[in-house]
Amino acid sequence: MIKTSTTLLAVIGDPIVHSLSPLMQNWMINYFKINAAYVAFHVKSNQLEQCVNGVKAFNMGGLNVTAPHKEQILNFVDQKSREVELLHAANTLKNENGTITAFVTDPFGFIESLGKNQSRFAGANVLMFGAGGAAKSVAYALSQLGIDKLIITDIFEEKAVQLKELAKNAFKISRVETIKIKTNNLNDYITDSQILINATAVGMHPNAAKSVLDDYSAISKQHYIYDLIYNPGHTALMLNAQKKGATVQNGLDMLLFQGLQSLRIWMNEDYELKIPALNELKSIMKKELGIYE
Amino acid sequence: MIKTSTTLLAVIGDPIVHSLSPLMQNWMINYFKINAAYVAFHVKSNQLEQCVNGVKAFNMGGLNVTAPHKEQILNFVDQKSREVELLHAANTLKNENGTITAFVTDPFGFIESLGKNQSRFAGANVLMFGAGGAAKSVAYALSQLGIDKLIITDIFEEKAVQLKELAKNAFKISRVETIKIKTNNLNDYITDSQILINATAVGMHPNAAKSVLDDYSAISKQHYIYDLIYNPGHTALMLNAQKKGATVQNGLDMLLFQGLQSLRIWMNEDYELKIPALNELKSIMKKELGIYE
């Protein structure tokens, strides 16, 4: 129940109507018995400064920031975390008495989502599809996980090259390559990798038949396939890789853990979501998404 | 449950910590099944412009405005209702696609709170203690109720005279007088009045022993005594007047109905609170206030 003392949190984006964050965050707020409420605001790009001033005037706890504002919002913050400085993007603003600090919790959400599969990453070769905002966060996470080599491919080669430079120079991943999306020897790269990551929207609802891969012959049970998509719960990439014995994971846990990390930052508390609670929340979110499997 | 589509409403004030509005409004929001949430923001006077810009940037439904901002907020609104123009004060801002209209629902709340006692007002002589913001709203309501004569008294005579001028010239009450608070012939004025209204804070918790009256000998069962205070539920004025057979009423219904009227304005719906619902809400609010009687 909202009280006079309740801290307001919100997600801003344009569009915002499909955001799962209010459902997810209010579930966690209730679960952890936090005196807060979380709403969604449809904020246009030309309103970002007014928006941040509003956070200060209302003494809100903070914001989540989603597309297309994750970079532009940085023009209006007072401080940036080290990760925000590296990624030039933020998804979390924290307000402390009118001082706004920007954080990015996506890389953290990726790492926490790995669970016991985290041990696969040290020294691994990773093939990543996509070089956009999500891929940038994952690349930073990969640098923290101590991978050996990152291969990036994107339909826009220039974006792949930009992310390569960032991953090498800023994130300090020692070996980074880019390859063309339709390269003839893609299977050689797959065979040479232990981990494949889809950080594109290819295969996302309502285009669930699509996949970044046409040929799964190089996929084996040694592979760990991480698809950042969470709708559908099993993408064509995941289903086909599973048939070859690979271990697969979708993006729902990353979504949850980046949100949990934002809540930890706002509240200065080290909340933990145990497996039963995590599963309950995931089933609520799948229901909201219309995923029954 | 808050969803992505939920409209945010809020009350602003300084201080705000004791506001009952979030409890009351969220109860009504739940009761009427409105897709909205209502929070409280502690906003300082120098943040009012940022605050109104924030309402626009966040596309909030609107605000309640409480002390000390009810007059100063008018510097930052786009439109004013007729009542706001007359009272130079607002307690409700409505946002429609970035256009902010100011309303004042206190006079309406006073009138709706009267119930069947409303018939007492046409042609009545009314003695009112207090000439501040609440008294101003009540004076406007009295003009709408067709009273014959208003007698105003306040410890600050100048304020009483200012309200007299407003009540005569703007509200068009034909007969308005001011008297000194400790006038010797106060009992003559009481005898000559059918209705007494306390619009001061005298007798409010924690000073519940105080009253605007020392001598109740002129009070009779013909009198209707309206005390705008709602904590305690029965003020010393009410208790002593009741002993003389007078009909008494406290300010809780006015608080509820001004809030209900704000909700009607924000949502463009003509909500009605039936007696059982009204009583349930009042008992919740009394419990919150620590009133058990």
Residues of chain B found within 8 Å of residue A38, distances taken between Cβ atoms: 2
Number of A to B CB contacts under 8 A, please give it. 111
Residues of chain A found within 8 Å of residue B43, distances taken between Cβ atoms: 57-59
Write down the pLDDT at residue A182: 82
Write down the pLDDT at residue A291: 82
Write down the pLDDT at residue B286: 94
Write down the pLDDT at residue B255: 97
Q: What is the pLDDT of residues A124-164, one digit of tens each?
A: 999 999 999 999 999 999 999 999 999 999 999 999 999 99
Write down the pLDDT at residue B293: 66
Tokens encoding B186: 């106060």
Of 3.40.50.10860, 1.20.950.20, 1.10.3470.10, 3.40.50.200, the CATH number of A7-104+253-289 is 3.40.50.10860
Write down the pLDDT at residue A290: 87
Catalytic residues of B: 70
Element spanning A188, H or E:
helix A186-192
Cβ of A37 and B39 within 8 Å?
yes
- Architecture of the structural domain at B108-250: 3-Layer(aba) Sandwich (3.40)
What letter does residue A285 receive in the DSSP assignment?
H
Residues of B with CB under 8 A from a CB of A: 1-6, 8, 10, 12, 16-23, 26, 37-43, 47-48, 50-51, 53-60
Residue A13 pairs in a beta bridge with A42
- Closest Cα partner for A38 from A56, A13, A64, A14? A64
**Residue A13: pLDDT above 80?**
yes
Write down the pLDDT at residue A48: 97
Phi and psi dihedrals of A257, rounded to 5? -75, -30
Q: Least CA distance to A55: which residue of chain B?
A: B54
Rounded distance between C-alpha atoms, residue B170 and residue B173, angstroms? 8
State the helix-helix crossing angle for B275-289 and B21-31, rounded to 10 degrees: 150
Phi-psi region of A100 (alpha: psi -120 to 50; beta: other; left: phi over 0): beta
Residue of B1, B17, B50 lying closest to A5 (CB–CB): B17
- Closest Cα partner for A31 from A279, A253, A286, A277? A277
Phi and psi dihedrals of B9, rounded to 5? -125, 155
Tokens encoding A181: 């999306």
- Architecture of the structural domain at B7-104+255-289: 3-Layer(aba) Sandwich (3.40)
How many Cα atoms occupy the beta-carbon half-sphere of B7 within 13 Å?
20
Cβ of A4 and B16 within 8 Å?
yes
Q: Least CA distance to A40: which residue of chain B?
A: B4
**Residue A293: pLDDT above 90?**
no
pLDDT, average across residues A269-288: 95
**Residue A117: pLDDT above 70?**
yes
Rounded distance between C-alpha atoms, residue B213 and residue A165, angstroms? 81
Structural domain spans, chain A:
7-104+253-289, 108-250
- Closest Cα partner for A260 from A91, A116, A40? A91
Residue of A4, A26, A41 lying closest to B22 (CB–CB): A4
Cβ contacts of A109 within 8 Å, gap of 6 or more: A253, A254, A255, A256, A257, A258, A259, A260, A261
What letter does residue A200 receive in the DSSP assignment?
S
Cβ contacts of A291 within 8 Å, gap of 6 or more: A231, A232, A233
Q: Which of A3, A44, A70, A274 is catalytic?
A: A70
Rounded distance between C-alpha atoms, residue B19 and residue A99, angstroms? 26
Say what percent of chain A tops pLDDT 90.
96
Told to judge if A286 belongs to the known catalytic residues of this protein, a careful annotator would answer no
> pLDDT tens per residue, chain B (293 residues)?
899 999 999 999 999 988 999 999 999 999 999 999 999 999 999 999 999 999 999 999 999 999 999 999 999 999 999 999 999 999 999 999 999 999 999 999 999 999 999 999 999 999 999 999 999 999 999 999 999 999 999 999 999 999 999 999 999 999 999 999 888 999 999 999 999 999 999 999 999 999 999 999 999 999 999 999 999 999 999 999 999 999 999 999 999 999 999 999 999 999 999 999 999 999 999 999 988 76
Burial class (CB in 10 A: 0-12, 13-18, 19+), B16: buried
| Cα–Cα distances in angstroms (integers) from residue A145 to residues A112, A149, A258, in the given order | 11, 11, 17
Same fold for the domain at B7-104+255-289 and the one at B108-250? yes
Cβ contacts of B234 within 8 Å, gap of 6 or more: B242, B248, B250, B293
